[in-house]
Amino acid sequence: MDYKYIEQLLERYWTAETTLEEEGILRAFFSQKDIPAELEQYRALFAYEAQETETRLSDDFDARILAMIEEEPQTTVKAREISMKQRLMPLFKAAAVVAIILTIGGAMQRPWDASWNDPRVEYANSYAIAVDSADVTPMQAENVTEIPADSAKVIPSDVAKD
């Protein structure tokens, strides 16, 4: 048997182009017992529609629902007062987090040991080390006539004794 018409109706059904009569034809077709195997997968869809059209609410449904609604006790909801402290508590928490982060950040800026040297001495020593370690060819060494005062190692006597 050729089921081309049913397959065409199914294609139109999936694109929502069928009329009510064509959908009735599909329901009637899928309510039969003999259906090809490739169309068997659609039987449950059309059988479900047929079953659901038969299922109806009882006549006293509305009355039962209204009775259930009336039985429930009416509860009143009180508005809760919120103090100013409770309103501002999230801001206090945020400010505390910011303060902690800034404190930790400030602590990270300072070295952990207390053995700081005089910055002027450290600068002079670093410059002298840079000059000493520079690669100087003999030709460049001949051209240097005098050493500037900055490049000499300057260590104050009170720091040198430590």
Residues in the chain: 162
Q: Which residues of 86-112 are buried (b: 16+ CB within 10 A; e: fewer)?
A: eeeeeeeeeeeeeeeeeeeeeeeeeee
Q: What SS3 state is found at 36?
A: coil
Say how many C-beta atoms besides its own lie within 10 A of residue 26's C-beta. 19
Please answer whether residues 6 and 29 qualify as being in contact, where contact means their C-beta atoms are separated by less than 8 angstroms: yes
Give me the tens of pLDDT residue by residue for the chain, a chain 162 residues long: 568 888 889 999 989 998 989 888 888 888 888 888 888 888 888 777 666 666 677 888 888 888 888 877 777 778 888 899 999 999 999 999 999 999 988 877 766 555 566 777 777 777 666 555 555 555 555 555 555 555 445 555 554 454
Q: What span, in angstroms and rounded, lies between the C-alpha atoms of 56 and 80?
A: 45
> The whole model's pTM is what?
0.33
Question: pLDDT at position 162, please?
Answer: 47
